[in-house]
Amino acid sequence: MRIAVGVVSHETNTFAEGTTGIETFATATGDELLEAEVGRSFGGIVETLEAEDVELLPTVGASALPAPTVEAEAFEWMKRELLDRLDGESVDGVCLDLHGSMFVAGEPDPEGELLASVREHVGPEVSITAALDMHATITEQMAKHLDGVAGYRTAPHTDVAETGVRAAKLLLDAVRGEKSLTLGWRRLPILLAGEQSETEAEPMRSLIDRLREADRADGVYDANYFLGFPWADNPHAGCHTLVTGDASSAAVVDETATDLARAFWRRRAEFDFTTEAYLPTAALDEVTQTDVQPVVVADTGDIPGAGASENTANLLAELLDRDDLGTPLVAVVADADSADRCRAAGEKATVSLELGRSYPDGTPLKLPGARVKRLDVEDTDTDTDDGVGTALVTVDGADVVVAEHRTNVHRDPTFLRRLDVDPSDRELVVLKSGYLSPAWKAVAAKRLFALTPGETNQRLSELPYERVPRPIYPLDEDATWSA
């Protein structure tokens, strides 16, 4: 048995400034893909297939931190590398690690286009399965060319490897002739942010339970909710049910997808912030009324893990105007020029910084008397969430982590140890984050959302949508849907 495997993974924020080129991606091709740290579910896919002595045909791997619109040339490179390795090869199946919410300049359905091209190469009889992020945006082409799908069932995403295992097992069963796969799909006209749909809270907790119940039905193998990505002005935007089942039970599979969609639609008004949420000033006021520490405040308008630039200084500027927050810690402001200036000056030096930018006018925050407390320099040339050079600077009674490029520090507080910072010692920690990772939740005595402006504005009605299909809830509260 020979299976082709690959990774093409990106969550694209079309409201973020700039574009994303191939140099931003971690990439690997051919045999090196099997040893590379590319993708999130790929390890589960490979481990499962190798345990069954499957011969693997590694194609291409490309993944990056969420970022602005992907350049057409970057996507064409990924597609070409994948298809070139399929050319002339005989495979029994294809298993891919995709995100599902990539947006490419001139191509709003890149995953659909990629899958259509793969299907053309391998033919109609070869099964194709994929592991998808919970925030995938499902399109007609994706549903048409995939035979089976497994999606994350946790947010924050803690089951990424397990999702790869599920996708690989679906494919193995299909290739062995033990299952004949079909998909049931429904799209719901709903825009939904992850910060309103964590799976440890209602209504997602109960809805995820329904997926597990659906899996046990005769003829159903893997039921999924996909919540889309609200920070993409995408003509395919929405939430989705996608159910993999047996082709002999196609009616049951389709009915299951419909029933799951109805359950989701009935509860649409229950989706709300899963953490206490306030406008910025009110969030800081709430910190002063709290007698536990640290209070971790998420600067939700500037989430690097959802593609924002991680350099807005609005909340920092407001925080610096106050003297009732102890010695707050702000992590992270990504600003290459400021990081370079700190590195050139050295530890204990005083520097003049023009840090980040106010949103939306772009004016930098002038900090004439910043003191460099600590440097942590690690060279990197990819826009990923580790290996970033940072500086800890003190200004007006607050500590600020300045990074040389975007990072995903909000996932793991141990990052701060390299700067000799213990977040538990602080009354207030501000993170460029949305919902907190399990590691940060363990640190936070209390957590709050600050509903700040920015490229991941949680108040979706304020975003300049032009391409999303209308009507769509909650932009249009009178939006309707029927199976």
Residue 469 belongs to a domain: no
In a domain, 259, yes or no: yes
State whether 96 and 240 are in the same domain: yes
The yes-or-no verdict on residue 49 having pLDDT over 80 is yes
- Tens digit of each residue's pLDDT (9 = 90 or more) over 117-141: 999 999 999 999 999 999 999 999 9
Indicate if 292 and 400 belong to the same structural domain.
Answer: yes
**142 lies in some domain:** yes
Find the mean pLDDT for residues 162-183: 97
- Give the per-residue pLDDT at 385: 43
- Calculate the average pLDDT of the chain: 96
363, 380: one domain: yes
Q: Judge if 322 and 229 occupy the same domain.
A: no
Based on the domain organization, do 212 and 184 belong to the same domain? yes
230, amino acid identity: P
Domain final position from 251, 270, 289: 270
Residue 238 has pLDDT above 80, yes or no: yes
Q: Do residues 121 and 183 share a domain?
A: yes
For residues 376 and 247, state if they share a domain.
no
Question: For the chain, what percent of residues have pLDDT higher than 70?
Answer: 98
Evaluate whether residue 63 is within a structural domain: yes
Domain assignment of residue 400, given as a range: 276-457
pTM attached to this predicted model? 0.95
pLDDT at 359: 97
Write out pLDDT tens, residues 11-40.
Answer: 999 999 999 999 999 999 999 999 999 999
Better pLDDT: 386 or 192? 192
Strand partners, 330: 400, 430
pLDDT interval class at 411 (50, 70, 90): confident
Is 339 a domain residue? yes
pLDDT tens profile 69-81: 999 999 999 999 9
Whether residue 282 sits in one domain with residue 266? no
More confident residue, 149 or 483: 149
Q: Is the pLDDT of residue 439 over 90?
A: yes
Considering the domain architecture, whether residues 244 and 365 belong to the same structural domain is answered as no
Residue 467: inside a domain, yes or no?
no
Last residue of a domain, one of 221, 240, 270: 270
- Tally the domains of the chain: 2
pLDDT in tens, 371-400: 999 998 554 433 334 568 999 999 999 999
**181-188 mean pLDDT:** 98
- Note whether 402 and 422 are same-domain residues: yes
Res 381: pLDDT: 37
Least Cα distance to 232 among 102, 337, 127, 132 occurs for: 102
Give me the mean pLDDT over the 146-174 stretch.
Answer: 98
Domain contains 129: yes
Show the 3-state SS of the chain.
CEEEEEEEECCECCCCCCCECHHHCEEEEHHHHHHCCCCCCHHHHHHHHHHCCCEEEEEEEEECCCECCECHHHHHHHHHHHHHHHCCCCCCEEEEEECCCCCECCECCHHHHHHHHHHHHHCCCCEEEEEECCCCCCCHHHHHHCCEEEECCCCCCCCHHHHHHHHHHHHHHHHCCCCCEEEEEEEECECCCHHHCCCCCCCHHHHHHHHHHHHCCCCEEEEEEECCCCCCCCCCCCEEEEEEEEHHHHHHHHHHHHHHHHHHHHCHHHCCCCCEEECHHHHHHHHHCCCCCCEEEEECCCCHHHCCCCCECHHHHHHHCCCCCCCCEEEEEECHHHHHHHHHHCCCCEEEEEECECCCCCCCEEEEEEEEEEEECCCCCCCCCCCCCEEEEEECCEEEEEECCCCCHHHCHHHHHHHCCCHHHCCEEEECCCCCCHHHHHHCCEEEEECCCCCCCCCHHHCCCCCCCCCCECCCCCCCCCC
Domain boundary residue among 235, 255, 270? 270
Pair (48, 180) in one structural domain? yes
Same-domain status, 252 and 358: no
Instruction: Evaluate whether residue 94 is within a structural domain.
Output: yes
